[in-house]
């Protein structure tokens, strides 16, 4: 039930609310749906590359485009460079930055924490202008595959909140 944002680890604890439900996917029981298989096939040309948690100007530009297209008015669409770096490029745990490119063009980046029993999907942002793309789905499928390849039983996806479309 714990999550991380920058160097801060937290778990929601509201006295009168229990809406935040942690989501943990048991990798061994996962079977992709037909649409998920189509997403894997459609994005099979993406090349994943692990990088250290470093500041890459192209990543920040993609993050800003993603925030402005997908989360307008949510606050993060106004993040400056320092807020971006504090949120994603600082960590007190074993964290990976995965860059996904296609023909040399940056399409997506994922921040993933490595835990003893799985991976924790911290945040993914991607090119919001690709027509018909399902990059968010692909990133989760890629992370599931990484768990399976490394004998990690779980992928932690964050919180689900029934009444929040974004969550």
Taking the chain (167 residues) in runs of 10, the rounded mean pLDDT of each run is: 66 78 91 95 94 90 86 56 79 92 95 93 90 88 97 90 67
> Quick one: which of 141, 167, 136, 165 has its CA closest to 155?
141
Phi, psi of 91 (to 5 degrees): -155, 145
The answer to whether the CB of 133 falls within 8 A of the CB of 151 is no
DSSP H or E segment with residue 15? none
Q: Residue 158's pLDDT is what? A: 79
Q: Residue 75's pLDDT is what? A: 47
Rounded to two decimals, the pTM is 0.86
How far apart (Å, rounded) are the C-alpha atoms in residues 86 and 109? Answer: 16
Q: Residue 15's pLDDT is what? A: 83
> Quick one: which of 108, 123, 131 has its CA closest to 157?
123
Q: Residue 71's pLDDT is what? A: 59
Backbone dihedral region for residue 159 (phi beyond 0: left; psi -120 to 50: alpha; all else: beta): beta
């Amino acid at each position: 039930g714990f999550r991380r944002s920058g160097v801060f680890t937290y778990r929601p604890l509201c006295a009168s609310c229990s809406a935040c439900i942690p989501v943990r996917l048991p990798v061994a029981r996962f079977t992709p749906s037909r649409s998920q298989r189509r997403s894997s096939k459609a994005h099979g040309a993406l090349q994943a590359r692990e990088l250290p948690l470093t500041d890459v100007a192209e990543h920040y530009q993609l993050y800003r485009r993603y925030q402005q297209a997908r989360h307008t008015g949510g606050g993060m669409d106004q993040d400056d460079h320092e807020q971006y770096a504090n949120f994603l490029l600082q960590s007190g745990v074993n964290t990976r930055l995965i860059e996904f490119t296609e023909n040399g063009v940056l399409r997506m980046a994922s921040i993933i924490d490595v835990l003893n029993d799985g991976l924790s999907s911290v945040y993914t942002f991607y090119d919001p202008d690709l027509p018909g793309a399902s990059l968010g789905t692909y990133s989760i499928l890629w992370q599931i595959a990484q768990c399976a390849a490394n004998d990690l039983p779980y992928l932690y996806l964050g919180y689900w909140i029934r009444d929040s479309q974004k969550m």
